[in-house]
Structures are given as structure tokens and as C-alpha cells.
Amino acid sequence: MKVLENIKWNDWHWQSSNSYIDGNSYVHGIDNYFKMKISPYYYNLIDSNDVNCPIKKQAIPSDHELKCMGNEYKKYGIDIHDSLAEENLSPVANLVHRYPDRVLMIVTNNCFTFCRFCTRKRIMSEQDTNFNVNNALDYISANKNIRDVLISGGDPLTLEDEQLEEIICKLRKIQHVKIIRIGTRAPVVMPMRITNKLVNILKKYHPIWINTHFNHPKEITEESAKVCRKIIDAGIPLGNQSVLLRGVNDNIDILKELFLKLAENRVRPYYLYQCDLGSGIDHFRTKVKSGIDLIRGLRQHISGLAIPTYVIDAPNGGGKIAVNPDYIIDKTREKIVLQNSKGNLYVYPEIIENEKEKSG
């Protein structure tokens, strides 16, 4: 019996169909913004003795979600339902084209677990609507500048292997598309989705890159670490995009442990996002200054390999903008004055390019 239970537990289809779902919404009457969905695996990581459990905060709805409906952002012209203005930058359905050389393809609106801080709540649904990406593929075919396609959603790995392979195969046939990236939280919330079969399919279409989404060291379990290794061993570089979340990971020791553990598992911390603006997610936002201070603190203590770029995805479609501690204290024609993370000052003389500059 135990063996049978294990077989089921390790089957991602079983996990999917046994997810904890509250589809009727947490609060009636407010469209689908408060839907809950949690995979049994992720639910199992919740520590019921810890009121501040970081897994619980990311997955279980709370009253705080009712507080922010976004009226306060209207004066900046920000639409709280689509604060990144993705719909404006969508030339065809299910595709966002914000940068000249790369696009984001939305291939599903389903996820294994709905993150409470999701920035794409406007499209999330546990119903598997059949996404038509043919127009998106045609658009990519016709645009020779596009060399990098990010397959996202929702979580693309909620699709069946065959559906996913069909999309990747069509993309691979487009000569100017060099890199195919997949954004997925499966290693964190549904590690059993990373089957040998899936990995063998993906590696046929190299170069494939994957970015996943760990936010807290508690999410790095034996199972999740194992599937990260499986992905990387298939030659797929694996990056991680975390979101800075108040009360979950806005703490130097937690971030240090998270990023070091990721690096130890060969997962490269890629971005640390300032929390986006969105309906019902304000309670997760930290001050930008806290983020900057955290990055400054990390720089002193851990290897550059384990430090992600801290970015704000600018509201209204500005794209990702790196925000860094200000290390340049003074700048003149002949030198800059730098301050390291300990606070010590150092002079770096500038190159003097020509006679005119020399004579001042």
C-alpha cells in the first residue's frame, strides 16, 4: 500500500488532480483574483506550527489581499490589473514584445500552485483553456530581430509533454530564433513534473535554458534539488528568479542561505525582483531601499556567482531596470571615487584620452 501511495505521490498528474483548489474565489464577487490552488507537494512543505511559514504566506490566501485594489496607483496612470502594460505590448494574442530581440510567449493560464503575489492574476485559471499560439509563431517567424523566445504563462510545464514539444519544435524550425527559454516554477512546487521523459524531449532542441523561481531556502528540498541537477545534467542552464517578499525573504540571512544553496546546486541566481504592483499584493511589497541595502550586504558576504541582479520591472511597460547600491561617490574628469560595501573609499584614475584633456 505504501509503495502504491508513493507511486501516486510521485506522479505529477496525480498531484495536479489532487491540488487544493478554491475556484469559487476567496471573496465572492471579485472576479478570479483570489483563487487558490496548491499542489499537495507544496502544501506538504507548510509548517503548521509556524505562523510565519514562508510557504504558507506564498500559497494560502490572507485578508491582506483585500486591502489593495489599486486606486492609489491610478494617478500614475498605472492599471493595477496589468501594471506592466503587457496587453499594450502585445501585437498578437499570447505574445508580449517589449524588447527588440526577445519576446515572451504565454502558452497557458494554468499553474501548479497560484502564488499569492502573482503579477499575472488577470489571466490565471485552473481551467486548461486551449491556447492558440499560431499567431504568435507566425509573428516570430516574420520578425527576424527576434533571437530569443521565452515560453511562459502560467506555467508552461502544466502542458502535456506532447503539447510543449509541438511548440518548441515549431520554434526551433525558425532559423533566426537562437535561444529558447522556459520559465517554470515546477522544480519548486511540482518537482515530479521534471521526468526523465520531459528532460529527454527538451534536450533535443538545444540551446534550451530554464529559469525557475525559488524564493526561500525551505523550498530547496531533496526532491527539488534533485530535479535541478537533472535539468542541469541535461545541458540546460538553470537560472533562478526570486521576488523580494516582505515577511518571506526580505532578510539578509535568508537571502544569503537561498542564493548560496542555489549556487551549490549549480542554479544561477539571475534576478531578484522588486515586487510588482498588483491587485491584492501590496502587503508583500518592501521599500526599494531595503532591496538595495540587502544587495549591498550580500556583495560583502558572498560570491558574485550567487548574487542576482536586483531589478524593478517598471510599471507601464518600461521593462526591467537594474537598481544598484550607489558605489560611485564622486566623479570628475580624471578620477572616480568608489566606496566598497565596508564603507572604505578608493580612487580609480580615469584614462586621459588626448592632449586636450591632459591640458584640461
Residues labelled catalytic:
98-99, 102, 111, 115, 118, 120, 276, 313, 320
- Asked if 32 contacts 81 with a C-beta cutoff of 8 angstroms, the reply is no
Burial (0-12, 13-18, 19+ Cβ within 10 Å), 231: buried
Cβ 225 to ligand PLP shortest distance, Å = 24
Residues touching ligand PLP, count (CB under 6 A): 7
- Asked if 187 contacts 267 with a C-beta cutoff of 8 angstroms, the reply is no
CA 277 to CA 125: how far, in whole Å?
20
Q: For ligand PLP, which is the closer residue by CB, 104 or 190?
A: 104
Residue of 102, 147, 229, 268 interacting with ligand PLP (CB under 6 A): 102
Residue of 104, 174, 262, 277 interacting with ligand PLP (CB under 6 A): 104
Residue of 56, 98, 193, 230 interacting with ligand PLP (CB under 6 A): 98
Distance of CA 350 to the CA centre of its chain: 38
Which residue, 165, 149, 240, is CA-closest to 197?
A: 165
* DSSP reduced 3-state for 311: strand
Residue of 105, 133, 149, 150 interacting with ligand PLP (CB under 6 A): 150
Distance of CA 126 to the CA centre of its chain: 19
In one letter, which amino acid is 83? S
Which residue, 288, 246, 283, 285, is CA-closest to 68?
A: 283
Residues 280-339 binding ligand PLP (CB under 6 A) are 320
Cβ 102 to ligand PLP shortest distance, Å = 5
Q: Is residue 147 close enough to count as binding ligand PLP by CB under 6 A?
A: no
- Asked if 177 contacts 141 with a C-beta cutoff of 8 angstroms, the reply is no
Stretch that binds ligand PLP, among 17-25, 98-106, 223-231, 349-357 (CB under 6 A): 98-106
Stretch that binds ligand PLP, among 9-17, 99-107, 129-137, 220-228 (CB under 6 A): 99-107
Q: Is residue 99 close enough to count as binding ligand PLP by CB under 6 A?
A: yes
Continuous segment of H or E residues that includes residue 200: helix 196-202
Q: For ligand PLP, which is the closer residue by CB, 237 or 297?
A: 237
Cβ 148 to ligand PLP shortest distance, Å = 7
CB atoms within 10 A of CB 10: 14
Q: Is residue 213 close enough to count as binding ligand PLP by CB under 6 A?
A: no
Cβ 332 to ligand PLP shortest distance, Å = 33
Question: Which residues of this protein are in contact with ligand PLP, per CB under 6 A?
Answer: 96, 98-99, 102, 104, 150, 320
